[in-house]
Chain A
């Protein structure tokens, strides 16, 4: 299923598979178009080919826009060639019975994408964008980021031996800045919010055509990496689609590409017969809700907002894929909800104490949205739900500061016994 062209999602104009991201006729976003899979019509053969692949996203290379799987040359006769870059994906899909029970749901699974090399789903998209950037002859990687992407690009650059420039809002969480600079990247902090950073990077990408901005001029390739989340979930469930996906929405790219991933496999007959696309439930923070707001109002145009939320990794006030996210939610009889900062903190705690998975604020948004859907009776009694946890709690420690108290004692058994009688309660 090799890539054949870049196609405008708005007017259908086609462009060669180079570093283009916007249609010069109508300014619409470009998306990768593929030729028919060579084994189309033989789903068993395609499944076998996938299962024979490596335990990372390159097992889905047939569905990604690369000329070849990025492989290192064998170091000598008889040596096994390794994979180039950081292996992303193959993250756990964990059945969350305690969480389901607490919310009164039948079956909930957590796709824990914090288990990627730099602890967020961004390693998937960056692996694809960086590999394509190398194929196209770029020597420098760059990105506009709210942190997770900066971590992923900096690490990928280090693994591939490419210099990296990352542009982030100056007020970002310290953990995310430290976990970028350590890889040797040049970190440029911009006085402004993410939308200001993105605007600057769009301008720089135009003026520096020799830089591969993974989420600007490499965007069509980058975005395709998110489809691997859908592929993995389907494969881990035994070639089935879940009834519902709950996933966060920032730009709307991840959300729409998960839908695209399931659709592609359904079209190829890889999923159990008669399975429809999952109901797609999007999650936004109330402090940055342009997509949820437009969905509630019945609009398909997202009016930009100025973000004010602890979920900084979702703080995109001007979400370019918003209209497509709304379209997908409507098409699957889905939902797009918004949750407050307090609900986000409670969501982080809920996931942690019922599953043992500590997520960042974006995962708090997703978990809180699951709870909201459950509490309002919008999840069917028989549904199998998968929530997509996109990042790691250690990156946003400020969000959970002050949510519980430690018990300090002298090294004295009586004091311990007195303390052990009352167990510490989580206060959110």
Chain B
């Protein structure tokens, strides 16, 4: 089990009692998220759909790298890594 830190976006901090960073344990991004949902159940419906997949406008970055460049929810995590959750933002350039 690795201990990772989730960075929670401002829009979801009501579900974490206002905390911007939350610790969780897991071996992959998916199991770390499950641990996070166990402690903060309101996050589950905001971040995942009825099939348990991440919603399409949710981006998760492992130490700054989009997990879709890795193995998605199956991407392995190591101790002290940071998982950042952010909404996809359109309309850039």
Q: Which residues of A contact B (CB under 8 A)?
A: 10, 21-22, 24-29, 122, 125, 144-149, 194-196, 198-199, 201-203, 206-207, 209, 215-216, 219, 222-223, 250-253, 301, 303-304, 306, 313-314, 316, 318-321, 323
Contact = CB atoms under 8 A, between A and B. Distances in A.
A112 B84 CA distance: 40
B89 A320 contact: yes
Contacts of A320: 57, 88-91
Contacts of A223: 90-91
A181 B89 CA distance: 25
Contacts of B87: 21-22, 27, 29, 202
Given A29-B57, A304-B69, A318-B59, A24 B11 contact: yes
B45 interface: yes
A148 B93 CA distance: 7
The 4 A-B pairs with the shortest beta carbon distances in the complex, nearest first, are A320-B90, A206-B10, A320-B88, A253-B91
Contacts of A304: 66, 68-69
B22 to A, nearest CB: 15
A219 B89 contact: yes
A199 B61 contact: yes
Given A202-B86, A206-B9, A207-B10, A27 B58 contact: yes
B12 A318 contact: no
B37 to A, nearest CB: 15
Interface residues of B, number: 28
Given A10-B57, A304-B69, A215 B10 contact: no
Given A320-B57, A320-B88, A26 B93 contact: no
Contacts of A321: 90-91
A30 B80 CA distance: 34
B57 A28 contact: yes
Given A22-B87, A145-B93, A195-B66, A301 B56 contact: yes
Contacts of B55: 10, 26-28
B46 interface: yes
B93 A318 contact: no
B45 A125 contact: no
B17 interface: no
A398 B84 CA distance: 36
Q: Which of B7, B84, B87 is the most central at the interface, judged by chain A CB atoms within 10 Å of its CB? A: B87
A215 B91 contact: yes
Given A206-B10, A250-B93, A26 B88 contact: no
